[in-house]
Amino acid sequence: MEYRGLDGRPITHPPMFRLFTRESMTKIRKRIQEEKQAKDLLKQQEEELGKEDDKNKLLFDEDKPRPNPLLMQGMVLPSKMGEFPPEMCGMPIEDFDEYYHNKYVHLMCRSS
């Protein structure tokens, strides 16, 4: 599928910057469903084994992924990501922080 910018020209951009599409939303919903099923299965297994160890839960919480601080709101994109394509300004794009791969988020990049 070919995407066009607001000016009608084809968009060519680094693979890190991808337009947000219906397929993007479908992938997010699928990941959320898969994670929910995995959590439900884990909870069921814990109940069957009778393991409700709070210490293990605390350790599990510490290992949870966190948002990348270099990609936080208001920050300038790291130079290793390259320059954000100007033709994509104002268009919905997929989030490039892995933390948000299974969350509904709104991402907007603006030129400075």
Number of domains the chain contains: 1
Structural domain contains residue 68: no
At residue 13, the pLDDT reads 54
Structural domain contains residue 24: yes
Instruction: For residues 9-30, give the mean pLDDT.
Output: 79
As a whole number of angstroms, the longest Cα–Cα distance in the chain is 61
Q: Residue 29 to residues 32, 35, 43, 51: CA-CA distances in angstroms?
A: 5, 10, 21, 30
At residue 33, the pLDDT reads 95
Query: If you average pLDDT over every residue of the chain, what do you get?
Result: 77
Structural domain contains residue 80: no
Structural domain contains residue 4: no
At residue 50, the pLDDT reads 74
At residue 37, the pLDDT reads 94
Structural domain contains residue 57: yes
Structural domain that includes position 102: 19-62+88-112
At residue 61, the pLDDT reads 60
Higher pLDDT, 51 or 27: 27
The model carries a pTM of: 0.64
- 10 Å CB burial of residue 100 (0-12, 13-18, 19+) is middle
